[in-house]
Amino acid sequence: MIELRSVAMSYGGTELLSDMTLKLMAGSFHFLTGPSGAGKTTFLKLCYAELMPSGGQLNLFGQDVRDLGRDDIAMLRRRVGVVHQDCQFLDHLPLLENVALPLSVAGRAVDPQELKDLLGWVGLAGQARALPPQLSGGERQRAALARAVILSPDILLADEPTGNLDWEMSLRLLTLLVELNRMGKTVVIATHDLNLIRAAKAQVPARVLRIQNRRLHLAGADL
């Protein structure tokens, strides 16, 4: 699914990430941790081709990202659902249309019942008509998750999806992600929350990646 070979990434100055080699298999469940500013968001951006590696080779679905044209990238993003750290909604459209946005841009028909079920699944059935700025941080994160899965992507990337949630809501969201993983989706969650990782490990064989000193490590079973 996602394969890195000595991938390096820099924003122009010194390298932020170096020599990352990794293979994420289909159906796997990974956490991504590391201190703030270590490059977790940057790593995820590489995985949906918002950023290009400055060195090494990165393959997504068996294709070198460097060979992807602009339309290829659009198609790739329909197979990778992303919960962004800052959600990224269209503030002038109600939640319902924001969640259905990937369908609209892909030119696919929207099934109203399916959409309603999806909103119910993330506990937002009552807020369908609200505009994104009128929602709480946690509601927005759940809406972002609904939008990320609406195209039934093969890979789900979530950047601090529980950052604004209380513990109970965090667990609910985790349950949703675990459900998706059981449906065969590859899941990567960037988080600081060790409790969340522990809770997940009780449900799925999750592995932990850690970015430290510009390198990507596979953390031990000590968590």
Partner 1 sequence: MRRLLGLLPQAEPRGADRVVPPTGFTARLTLLTAAAMAFLAVFALALSLASGRLADRWAEALARSATIRISAPAEQMAAQTRAVLDILAVTPGVASARALDEAEMRNLLSPWFGPDLPVDTLPLPQLVEVVETAGGLDAEGLRLRLAAEAPGALFDDHTRWRRPLVAAAERLRLLGILSLVLIGGATAAMITLAAQAALAANGQVIRVLRLVGARDVFIARAFVRRFTLRGFSGAVLGTVLGVAAVAALPDTDAAGGFLTGLGFQGWGWLWPLAIPPLAAGVAFGATRAAALRMLKGIR
Q: Which is nearer to Mg ion, 41 or 162 (CB)?
A: 41
Residue 11 interacts with, from Mg ion, partner 1, ligand ATP, none (CB under 5-8 Å by kind) = ligand ATP
Rounded to whole angstroms, the Cα distance separating 53 from 46 reads: 7
Residue 108: DSSP 8-state: P
Q: Which is nearer to Mg ion, 39 or 124 (CB)?
A: 39
**Sign of the torsion formed by the C-alpha atoms of 79, 197, 217 and 35:** positive
Residue 106 interacts with, from Mg ion, ligand ATP, partner 1, none (CB under 5-8 Å by kind) = partner 1
Interface map 47-86 toward Mg ion (x if CB under 5 A) = --------------------------------------x-
Residue among 72, 74, 18 at smallest CA distance from 43:
18
| Interface with ligand ATP (CB under 6 A) | 11, 16, 34, 36-42, 85
Residue 73 interacts with, from Mg ion, ligand ATP, partner 1, none (CB under 5-8 Å by kind) = partner 1
Residue 38 interacts with, from ligand ATP, Mg ion, partner 1, none (CB under 5-8 Å by kind) = ligand ATP
Decide: 178 and 145 in contact? Cβ < 8 Å: no
Q: Is residue 41 close enough to count as binding Mg ion by CB under 5 A?
A: yes
H or E element that contains 46: helix 40-47
**At 194, which amino acid appears?**
L
Q: Which is nearer to ligand ATP, 57 or 85 (CB)?
A: 85
| Interface with partner 1 (CB under 8 A) | 48-51, 70-71, 73-78, 82, 84, 88-90, 92-93, 97, 101-102, 104-107, 147, 151
Rounded to whole angstroms, the Cα distance separating 22 from 53 reads: 14
What angle in degrees, to the nearest 10, is found between the helix axes of 137-149 and 112-121?
Answer: 130
Smallest distance from the beta carbon of 203 to Mg ion, in angstroms?
A: 24
Residue 105 interacts with, from Mg ion, ligand ATP, partner 1, none (CB under 5-8 Å by kind) = partner 1
Q: For 48-193, where are the alpha helices, taking DSSP H only?
A: 70-77, 95-99, 101-105, 112-121, 137-149, 167-182
15-24 and 55-60 beta bridge pairing: unpaired
- Interface contacts to Mg ion, rule CB under 5 A: 40-41, 85
